[in-house]
Amino acid sequence: MTEQLFPHLYKVQEIAEKRVEVIMDGLPEKNPVPAK
């Protein structure tokens, strides 16, 4: 069971992290962060 579950979770995690990176890269263009 674990052998089949882990690769799936790993793939989901990988996709989620890439999606977060894309979102974070796109944010400054829409919502510029004021310089502190």
How far is Cα 1 from Cα 33, in angstroms, rounded to an integer?
46
Domain that holds residue 13: 1-25
Per-residue pLDDT of the chain (36 residues; tens, 9 = 90+): 556 778 888 899 999 999 999 988 887 776 666 666
Domain count, the chain: 1
What count of residues does the chain have?
36
Task: Answer yes or no: is 13 within a domain.
Answer: yes
Which contacts of 26-30 are long-range, i.e. CB under 8 A and separated by 24 or more positions?
none
Task: Answer yes or no: is 12 within a domain.
Answer: yes
Task: Answer yes or no: is 31 within a domain.
Answer: no
Q: What is the pLDDT of residue 24?
A: 87
Task: Answer yes or no: is 3 within a domain.
Answer: yes
Which DSSP symbol is given to 14? H
Task: Answer yes or no: is 35 within a domain.
Answer: no
Task: Answer yes or no: is 11 within a domain.
Answer: yes
